[in-house]
Amino acid sequence: MQCPFCGEGALVHQTKDMPYTYEGKSTVIPAVTGDFCGACGECVFTDKESKRIGDAMLAFNRLVNSGA
């Protein structure tokens, strides 16, 4: 499948750890499964995986905001 973002790369289905940064603090969201573009780095997730990633990001944001 061709990448819908850049139209150049091919999307590759894989699972990998995704770095995430909020307010200068970094974490890694483990074992994120999606279709990743090798050309531009964009990725496409299923609805279920998007929700899990969103929840993980929000949880990390709360942790950072709490000062931990």
Compare residues 1 and 28 and give the one whose CB is closer to Zn ion: 1
The 37-56 contact track toward Zn ion, x by CB under 5 A, reads: x-xx-x--------------
Residue 35: CA count within 13 A, CB half-sphere? 12
CB closer to Zn ion, 1 vs 40: 40
Query: In sequence order, which residues have a C-beta less than 8 Å from that of residue 48 and are 6 or more positions away?
Result: none
The Cα 11–Cα 4 span in angstroms is 9
Q: Interface residues with Zn ion (CB under 5 A)?
A: 3, 5-6, 9, 37, 39-40, 42
